[in-house]
Amino acid sequence: MSNDAPVMLGMTLPDVAVWSERVTVALGQNPNAFSGPGTNTILLGTGRLRVLLDPGQGAEDYLPVLEQAMERCGCEGFQEIVLTHAHPDHIGGVRQVLDRFGDLKVSKRPWPGVDDPYDLELTPIDEGSIIATEGATLRALHTPGHAPDHLCFMLEEERALLSGDNVLGVGTTVIPTETGDLAKYMASLERLHSENPACIYPAHGPKIEEGKAKLDEYIAHRHQREQEIVAVLRNGDAGPMEIVKVVYANYPEALHPAACQSVTQHLLKLEREGRARHDGKDPILSVWSLC
């Protein structure tokens, strides 16, 4: 049903990329099926000390790449670390960077329980928080859905959006079954759209040149997906994985488990809207029907 073909599987990006005079990327060295070429760890600012956004997963090969990126952009160290959210491919690299560069402030929106195992001293930030460094001003936007703690940031000097996992360079965002919320995610997309970003710097995949157009595409994509799922159910009751096999027929099977989570989220959203119901088992294992 969908022709927007595969995603970031197998995509490669350079280890270091200069996206603008104030934005340099060091690739996290953590490629996989979900994150594609790995996390974009982003050095922000123009001064000696920069802000490091999302230092990746803690991959063994990451620090040399980070140092290469620092050299490329003339950065000598870090003012602080800022996190978009507590998924391991964003927060998991913090300890490694602190061990190498000394105790830095680490700022994020708290996610009680999930932050704790990382044993970090976190400075809480939230909607409207400003993080300023030489040449870059970040304004935090609380954008839940992919994760409840998720912050995006407007880079005010460029009217650019640092989108974290809410918008990706290629493919679409996973909405995890347990902790994700598709209705909130779709509201977050509308929110980001209203910021009218000129371009988008995502946490995975290449820079997005047309920010607002990409958000239009993302919003339309979710609406289309919902219609496709409803169409499958019109042909008969089905479980999320059966729906995936129809709707994601053109995607590599390695991505089907992630797609299954997204489909389940759509079904839960339809359920909340009174448009679908399931047989009472775990939603992902249930048979679903239209109301």
Task: Name which of 62 and 288 has its Cβ closer to Zn ion.
Answer: 62
Count of chain residues binding Zn ion (CB under 5 A)? 2
Q: Is 266 in the site for Zn ion (CB under 5 A)?
A: no
Task: Name which of 31 and 45 has its Cβ closer to Zn ion.
Answer: 31
Q: Which of 237, 291, 278, 285 is nearest to 261 (CA)?
A: 285
Task: Name which of 165 and 226 has its Cβ closer to Zn ion.
Answer: 165
Task: Name which of 51 and 147 has its Cβ closer to Zn ion.
Answer: 147
Q: Which amino acid is at 91?
A: I
Rama region for 214: left / alpha / beta (φ>0; ψ in -120 to 50; rest): alpha
**Least distance from Zn ion to the Cβ atom of residue 245, Å:** 25
Q: Is 54 in the site for Zn ion (CB under 5 A)?
A: no
**Least distance from Zn ion to the Cβ atom of residue 78, Å:** 22
Tokens of 130: 């400003």
Task: Name which of 115 and 165 has its Cβ closer to Zn ion.
Answer: 165
- Other beta carbons within 10 angstroms of residue 259's beta carbon come to 23
Contact flags string 187-226 toward Zn ion, x per CB under 5 A = ----------------------------------------
- Other beta carbons within 10 angstroms of residue 218's beta carbon come to 21
Contact flags string 58-97 toward Zn ion, x per CB under 5 A = -----------------------------x----------
**Least distance from Zn ion to the Cβ atom of residue 146, Å:** 6
Q: Is 181 in the site for Zn ion (CB under 5 A)?
A: no
**Least distance from Zn ion to the Cβ atom of residue 34, Å:** 9
Q: Is 149 in the site for Zn ion (CB under 5 A)?
A: no
- Segment 233-241 long-range contacts (CB within 8 Å, at least 24 positions apart): 233/276, 233/288, 233/289, 233/290, 234/290, 237/287, 237/288, 237/289, 238/287, 238/288, 239/285, 239/286, 239/287, 239/288, 240/264, 240/267, 240/283, 240/284, 240/286, 240/288
Tokens of 110: 């708290």
**Least distance from Zn ion to the Cβ atom of residue 29, Å:** 17
Q: Is 108 in the site for Zn ion (CB under 5 A)?
A: no
Contacting Zn ion within 9-48 (CB under 5 A): none
Q: Which of 189, 199, 98, 195 is nearest to 145 (CA)?
A: 189
Task: Name which of 15 and 165 has its Cβ closer to Zn ion.
Answer: 165
Nearest residue to Zn ion, by Cβ distance, number only: 87
Q: Which residue do the tokens 């995949």 mark?
A: 205
Q: Report DSSP letters for 29-79, one per residue.
A: S--BTTTBT-BEEEEE-SSSEEEEE---S--TTHHHHHHHHHHHHT--EEE
**Least distance from Zn ion to the Cβ atom of residue 200, Å:** 16
**Least distance from Zn ion to the Cβ atom of residue 111, Å:** 11
Tokens of 249: 């027929």
Q: Is 165 in the site for Zn ion (CB under 5 A)?
A: yes
**Least distance from Zn ion to the Cβ atom of residue 76, Å:** 30
| CA terminus-to-terminus distance, the chain | 23
Question: Which spans of this chain sit near Zn ion (rule: CB under 5 A)?
Answer: 87, 165
